[in-house]
Structure 1
Amino acid sequence: MSGYAGQSIWKSLGRAAFLSVAVSFVLFPILWLALGSVKTRNGALAVPPEFIFQPDFTAYTRIFTQGFLGSFQTSLTIALTNVVLTMVLGVPAAYALTRMTGKVQENLSFWLLSVRMAPLFAVIIPLYVLFRGIGLLDTPIAVALAHLTLTLPMAIWMLVTYFRSIPIDLDQAALLDGATRLQVLWIVILPIARPMLASVGIIVFIFSWNEFLLAFILTSRDAQTVPVAVASMAGTMSFDWPLIAAVSIVSMIPALLFVGVAQRHIVSGLGAGAVK
């Protein structure tokens, strides 16, 4: 009995040590950014690093005085627009795919997967030519639509997996009661799928908020997102590390808030499903 207790203690200690290392590995870059954001420019680049210093919050005040708020507003507009478009188009498409049978369903599913697997550079050039032709270059809607080409297939595939786990008997019962397919989706399926919808919304928002390459190619000045603005601050010989670190820290806040709100919806959705 004592041997089993000893093994259990060692397993617990091993799990605790592993989790501590994993958490430290994840949090270290954030901590390093936070420290760099409250140092002077020379202090942030000092070798060896300074761990005892007088905090300087000038970099955070410069976020409001050097035009970065416009980039935050643009990123938020693009991310929220992409979430709305992805959910409005992806939810009905995923539901339709789960209720279809035969070769048509298989071919459509494979086509969606192939689009998501395409190299990003294969998507950028056609989108650039298209948006330039219709006058949408350097606009938030252009970046949101470009993100949609990547997030929509991803969302559909995630939702298809979840919708397939919902018994089709629920659809048939609602149809027998006189409901249309749209009413079945809206009244029966969506309330059950709220946890998954929240999860997909989180993933789409974070992807769109952090995406760099499409935003960099399709924008220049008027619709510059936060990742593009941060990259533009890096010079060839020197760069303002405290300002870059401060913008990076502040850019985490909207994503964390969105995740926090969505998590509450996930919990409420799971609770509602358990009650039902």
Structure 2
Amino acid sequence: MSYSGPEFDPPQQRRPRRAPLAVGLAALVPGALLGWVVYEGVGRPGGSDAARTDAATPWSAPASVGDDAKVPGPSASALPLKGKVVVIDPGHNPGNFRHPSEINQKVNIGTNWKECDTTGTSTNAGYTEARFTLDVAHRLRTLLERQGATVKLTHDGDRPAWGPCVTKRAQIGNDAHADAAISLHADGAPEGDRGFHVILPASVHSGGADTRPIVASSRTLGERVEKDFAKVTGSAPSNYVGNGTGLDVRKDLGGLNLSTVPKVFIECGNMRDSTDAALLTSGSWRQKAAQGISEGIVSFLRGQASGG
């Protein structure tokens, strides 16, 4: 489609009197072009060196970086647990209640015979200890792995479908040559009993149990965990166990009796107390619980590395 209008009228024949002007313009064009070239080459605001460099040299990696160079990873100080092994034992198992005959079989814990495992307790609303411990274990594993630790769980809620037995839980830590091991729990005491406590192994030398080599180191681990758990969560030590210290020593737990590596249990709160239950069922509080335990373990392992 064609368009006609004033701006598209045919050009008129030039009149002779305009010829001098045309000649003058023709003379100015080469000079203007030359000035423009000089301006673009050396006089453009912002610096000509950068412009010339960009035009002449395509982007490339710095000459000092070879093809096989790698981006530096986190420094050793950013991975305080590198080379350390931590075993996390989530107390009980969500599937235990489906396998009563298996978990009720008796196993030798050194000082006596005891059930292979139990179902654990729950809040009055039905939130189970097994679900709680597995959730905190996953959170704790993430925190420890971020700091370079190799983390092993005694179970992950799926395989096996029950247990494992308390004897096997201890063996997993022993076989891993763990630098620290911790068993996660929540208590089932009466309403009004509140707070957390850390359980330490007593000095036991009976049957297949001999905790004497780990009593001192386990106490140090427990003290560090107790301190940091209280600090991070804001929870108070138990008002019904440990005389306000947040620490308890026992010789009737197979997971401690049969351990050959530093190990403690932690009862993070009382599921049967409504105030504690509100904390234990809160995801944000469980994250704090995992953080507090993690900081205690880091403190312990740093102390071990420095000989403290």
TM-score category (smaller protein): under 0.3
TM-score normalized by the length of structure 2 = 0.22
Q: Which has the higher helix share?
A: 1
Higher strand share: 2
Tell me the TM-score normalised to structure 1 length: 0.24
Radius of gyration: which is bigger? 2
Q: Higher relative contact order at CA 8 Å, sep ≥6: structure 1 or structure 2?
A: 1
